[in-house]
């Protein structure tokens, strides 16, 4: 049959890979949006796992900066944690609350969020290539009527690709500096950064920062 001939010629491999990437993107979306981003547990549980959750203690942070108690959920906040009023929880290594995910991006799901953005970018670039390759340009009204769907699809894919690319690049830059979106945007309001002698006391070099984040 025609399907078997296409399979023998390898013409079904690329569509199959594309569909698998789309499914992987969907699964990652639900995984990141539904998982615990690193909610701070009640104070008696934080004491047990604080050393595991917080990682390396940075000596450059002033000793007079003490852990504060959250005024909303009344837990003692570990360093780099922040209360999210939308999630009604304090989140460890809080980065930001993503409206597309309806969830915070924090200590536990931040690496998966980067993987999701990367897969999404590949899907968008591939889809944009397919939409562009299907266009053949002619100056006629009939041509515009027959290709309006492809033109709109390519424009939307191009727009989403720019957004995802900028988001991915900005997050990779912040990760390489070992800082978060919240710390980057609110540096002057965060006590452990405002009172530190260094601009970024958590920075341990690009390679080590990336290694600690992803591994």
Active site residues: 98
DSSP 171: H
| Run of H or E residues at 166 | helix 141-176
SS3 86: coil
C-alpha 138/C-alpha 19 separation (Å) is: 31
Do the beta carbons of residue 40 and residue 91 sit within 8 Å?
A: yes
Take residue 201 and report the two structure tokens written for it: 């006391």
Long-range contacts of 205-213 (CB under 8 A, 24+ apart): 206/176, 206/177, 209/175, 209/176, 209/177, 209/178, 210/175, 210/176, 212/55, 212/56, 212/178, 213/110, 213/111, 213/175, 213/178
The radius of gyration computed from the CA coordinates of the chain, to the nearest angstrom, equals 23
Do the beta carbons of residue 168 and residue 118 sit within 8 Å?
A: yes
Give, in degrees to the nearest 5, the angle at Cα 49 between 204 and 45. Answer: 140
């Amino acid at each position: 049959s025609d399907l078997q001939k296409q399979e023998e010629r390898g013409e079904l491999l690329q569509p199959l890979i594309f569909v698998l990437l789309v499914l992987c993107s969907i699964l990652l979306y639900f995984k990141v949006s539904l998982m615990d981003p690193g909610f701070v547990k009640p104070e008696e549980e934080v004491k047990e796992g604080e050393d595991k959750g917080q990682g390396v203690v940075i000596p450059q942070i002033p000793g007079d900066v003490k852990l504060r108690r959250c005024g909303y959920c009344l837990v003692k906040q570990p360093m780099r944690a922040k209360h999210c009023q939308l999630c009604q929880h304090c989140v460890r290594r809080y980065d930001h609350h993503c409206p597309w995910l309806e969830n915070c991006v924090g200590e536990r799901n931040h690496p998966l969020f980067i993987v999701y953005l990367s897969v999404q970018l590949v899907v968008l670039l591939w889809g944009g290539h397919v939409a562009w390759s299907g266009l053949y340009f002619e100056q006629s009204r009939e041509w515009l009527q027959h290709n309006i769907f492809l033109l709109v699809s390519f424009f939307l894919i191009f727009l989403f690709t720019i957004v995802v690319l900028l988001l991915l690049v900005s997050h990779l830059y912040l990760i390489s500096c070992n800082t978060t979106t919240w710390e980057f945007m609110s540096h002057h309001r965060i006590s452990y950064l405002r009172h530190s002698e260094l601009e970024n006391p958590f920075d341990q070099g690009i390679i080590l920062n990336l290694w600690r984040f992803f591994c």
